[in-house]
Structure 1
Amino acid sequence: MGGDQDPVTVIEVSYAPAWDLEARAPWRQLTAEAARERDRAGLPYVVVYRIPGRRVPLEVRLVSWRDHYVGLWLYDDQGRRTDELDLRLLDDQSRLLSRRIRAWRYTGPEMAEFDERCPRSSMELFPDGKGSVSQEPQGARGRRFVTVPGADVRRWQGRPGFGDWPVVSALWQRVPGPVTLRPAPLDPGAGTEDACDDASVPPASCWRPPQPGRPGPIDALFRPGTRMTDGYHPEMTVVEPRRSGTLRVPSGLLAVSGPDGLSDDGPAITVCVPPGEYVLEEARVRVGYDCEWSQGWVTHTDTTAVRLRISESPAVSWEMALGPDDDPRLLGEHEIFGFGTDGATGCFADAGAWESLHRLFERHLVHGEPDAGQDIPDSIYFLRTQDEASGGELVAFATSGDGVHPVWVGRSADGDLAEVVVLVDGMPAVLQDAGADDAETAPV
């Protein structure tokens, strides 16, 4: 009895509304009670664990229940993030999904945070049992090995109470001996403001809860005179949208999908519309550049988006269309849901006749049966098929490449469906909006 015991590691705990990523420091301090109030209200806050005398934190927990998110970041002695744990609160309020786990294993103290040469790994998990494990032992520039998670992976964990979270660094034996927690000293005036005041906006250098991809100013793509850039072309000018025929949707259920997939799965995304016939349009930009081969200035027109006009009312708000199994609570920063394609192809179609239209698409495009569909010349829309029984149609369009393409649904000021848009190759940045100019010069 009374043998030697490991020394106790003291860890100080502090709270703040936000975490400054550049300074690696809390943005304004909160009292524990103020943080507890924000926790109850679902507002963002952070918990910082630090060993006294250590320049950088041991770990930081980032919480925003209204965004269904809890993040945990672990730091090494150099202040580099070594591990990230992304937890999501879904329907069952008593447990959390381990959505994403990432780790960086720096090869020396001189290696910069997130250096491309740093060995790294990640694991993504989904509620339905799916997931993936990625290993990059030579860093981002080396080979990537992807497998599936083992059966013993812990996908769910109980949701701790406000003060019941474990210190993960201690669980993972990143600190010596047993651990004791104590409150960090408070700065003068800390926590005196309203704990649930969400009006104060942290600076841009602070963490914010992950937000899914946003549509950007889609309406500007269809506003002639707007100047834009895609990063490659310094300036592009929007010209008049091009009308490219119509689409019949007698079933009242619009499909937006990649027709090069398996028809047994059905369309990736469906949107309810009034049964009818709708105008197809292309958003276009005029691009000029100095061509080495032509030895002069060359101008051409590119398509930036395709649109199905549901009404003449302009869209004033946009939302991401979701498939039957898509849950936006699972998305990370700038991530999207959409339709997938491995043939750089999408389509608008009548979902009520999807199987028939899809078979006709394959017969015409894959098997070369000319009577199964109609080619569309001189347009990004390139093929139309029609179901004889219902009159429903499918019109296929080209995209810039393979992968997943989001579908954006625009609604009018009354909340009614106004248009459905697919970007051909991402959203260009607006340099000068022609609509803004009109607003400034319009008579009062």
Structure 2
Amino acid sequence: MSAEAARERDAAGLPYVAEHRIPGREAPLEVRLVSWQQHHVGLWIYDECGRRTHEVDYRLLEEDRLLDRQTRIWAYAGPEVPEFDERASRTTVTLGPEGRARVRREPQGSKGGATITTAEVTDKQRWLKRPDFGRWPVFSREVHGLTEPVTVREAAGAHQGSDAEPADRWRAPRPGEPGPLDELFRPGTRMTTSYQPEMTVVEPVRSGTLNVPSGLLGIDCPLDGRGPRLTVAVPPGEYPLEEARISFGYDCMYDQRWVDRTETTAVRLCVSETPAAYWEMAMAPEDDPRLLGEGEVYCFSTDGATGAFADAREWGALQQLFDRGMEAGDPDAGDPDPSGADADPLSMFLMRTREPASGAELAAFAVSSDGGHPVWVGRSADGDVVGVVVLVDGMPALVAP
């Protein structure tokens, strides 16, 4: 790609790659990956063996300033050590716009121990003024100990060939995607995981309803006394709750026989019968999608493998009733079987609570693990909410036709 073509792509916000090289050195000093439309600039610094030693992830959060979101540094014991070897020492520094840094050090590599510390950082350490095209500083000068000024110019022959975007071009990091959520609720769909190569979706199961009189649905863990972290505006009303189910079989070594099994894969609050035209990640007001790395998502978090749908306006009162029902066993606090189906051992719903004055309700459900769980909001072509889904575990993949 010629310098002029790169300049045009820079002005249009389209992605392009720039290399900094010096004569007599086969590996580049650094490679810069620019995609203004995705608010991203990536920087890689290389050693003489062609291995990446530094990776910097900048995010354009303001018109003229880039946040140094994350820096990763690898140290190799010798020239024979491969790039990103699991034994290579590594340090990861993650910065937020609010001014704190999280530093993770792994002196023995990914197989050894790690220490994590936090520190305050200055504006100068966090932010870089957005350079004009062709005026980027050469960050690798200090890393490589270069004392002579480094000039940047178009390499000989760089103008030759096509300026068309290659099919395998670099791309900016993409946040996590919902996957085939609709298919989880479509009977007969064949799916697969690394553990179960052949699975078949069966008929979803209705598990009662949830009343949301305020028109603001909250989703979070009901165990921690906070929340809800995530909210979704819906028309006030009472909505069906559904559980997606999938069946599979396996050879059980313990029982020495073939076992057929059905499990719940997701829970859904159904707002409308209209199919979802697209799915989007639920986010809190403080969440910024421009800060997400490759495959990352915003979530609610749980230390007790539990989530809940509830009327957000009455979350506090409903959560207190949930505590009374779960911890104190108060029979007046809530219904331990919100679906009313005692015979359904597969249901992930644990308990429903109801605030008497408003009629607002909470329905708690189990998930497979502690940690973060994303919430996906389905919308119609007009942008109306048609459903809200939480995966119980990971997302299976569709079986190739």
TM-score, length basis structure 2? 0.94
> What do the CA deviations read for 1:288-342 (whole angstroms, capped 9, x no partner)?
0011122211011111111110001111211111112100000000000011111
Aligned mate of 1:86, from 44, 57, 66: 57
Work out the number of aligned pairs and report it.
Answer: 393
Q: Does structure 1 retain, via aligned residues, the 8 Å contact 2:267–2:390?
A: yes
Unpaired runs of 5+ residues, structure 2, are none
Q: Does structure 2 retain, via aligned residues, the 8 Å contact 1:34–1:191?
A: no
Give the superposition deviation at 1:432: 5.1
Q: 1:150 to 1:107 in 2, by over 3 A?
A: farther
Q: Does structure 2 retain, via aligned residues, the 8 Å contact 1:226–1:432?
A: no
1:414 maps to 2:382: yes
Q: How does 1:258-407 map to 2 (within 5 A)?
A: 258-263=221-226, 266-376=227-337, 377=342, 378=345, 379-407=347-375
| 2:214 equivalent in structure 1 | 251
| 2:396 equivalent in structure 1 | 428
Give the superposition deviation at 1:201: 5.1
Q: 1:208 to 1:422 in 2, by over 3 A?
A: same
Q: 1:162 to 1:187 in 2, by over 3 A?
A: closer
> What do the CA deviations read for 1:367-397 (whole angstroms, capped 9, x no partner)?
3323211112431011111111110101011
Aligned mate of 1:147, from 113, 117, 127: 117
SS at match of 1:271: strand
Identity %: 58
Amino acid at match of 2:235: P
CA distance in 2, matches of 1:168, 1:213: 30
CA distance in 1, matches of 2:87, 2:69: 25
1:53 maps to 2:24: yes
Q: Does structure 2 retain, via aligned residues, the 8 Å contact 1:323–1:338?
A: no
Q: 1:421 to 1:371 in 2, by over 3 A?
A: same
SS at match of 2:119: coil
| 2:190 equivalent in structure 1 | 227
| 2:143 equivalent in structure 1 | 172
CA distance in 1, matches of 2:101, 2:242: 38
TM-score, length basis structure 1? 0.85
Amino acid at match of 1:311: S
Q: Give the stretch that moved more between structures: 184-193 or 272-281.
A: 184-193
Amino acid at match of 2:309: F
| 2:177 equivalent in structure 1 | 214
SS at match of 2:128: strand
> What do the CA deviations read for 1:74-119 (whole angstroms, capped 9, x no partner)?
11122111101111111x2111111001101111111111111111
SS at match of 2:317: helix
Amino acid at match of 1:301: T
Give the superposition deviation at 1:192: 5.3
Q: Give the stretch that moved more between structures: 126-135 or 40-49.
A: 126-135
CA distance in 2, matches of 1:131, 1:295: 53
Unpaired runs of 5+ residues, structure 1, are 1-29, 194-199, 434-444
CA distance in 2, matches of 1:414, 1:181: 49
> What do the CA deviations read for 1:176-201 (whole angstroms, capped 9, x no partner)?
533233321125633555xxxxxx45
CA distance in 1, matches of 2:119, 2:75: 20
SS at match of 2:290: helix
| 2:167 equivalent in structure 1 | 202
CA root-mean-square deviation = 1.6
Give the superposition deviation at 1:122: 0.4
| 1:182 equivalent in structure 2 | 153
CA distance in 1, matches of 2:352, 2:200: 29
Which 4+ residue blocks in structure 1 deviate beyond 6 angstroms? none
